[in-house]
Structure 1
Amino acid sequence: MLRTVLAEYGDDDVVIGMSTTFNRDLELESIDLVTLAGLLEGRYGQRVNLAEFLAGMEFDEIIELTVGRLVEYVVWSLKTTQAG
């Protein structure tokens, strides 16, 4: 999904790891996070709500958001909804 967003900028060959930041490393903007949120919702439905996840963060946390932290949130969300 992230590669889909990056492809819009021609950056689909960028190396992405768990410590990669959305802002500093990938230079994504808020509209890109909206696109990513839509892709996540399309794949997982309401079980993974990126907007809600980001709403619980301070501005600095959003700026420093890593791929790893988002992956952890997705895994947690899917486990939580599966168990519930």
Structure 2
Amino acid sequence: MLTWLSLPQERREPALLTSLREAMVAAVTHRHPVVEDPGPAGAARALRAVLPEQTILSDAERRLLTEWLNRLAADG
């Protein structure tokens, strides 16, 4: 959220906020976990699955985040 707010208005991707809000609401209101596998590995796999849809990140940021998510997902 803070990164999004720090961007110039024309670079802000409203869909990212929608995804973030929906994930937060689902995490609080659903009886069953939104992420199939509990813990960091499951969360990393879930985030990695929707990463290609996000346009707010530069190619370098996306590659770095993908590398980190791959490492976290491998721990599970």
Please, what TM-score do these two structures have when normalized by structure 1? Answer: 0.32
Q: Flag the structure with more relative contact order, 1 or 2, with Cα contacts below 8 A and sequence separation at least 6.
A: 1
Structure with bigger gyration radius: 2
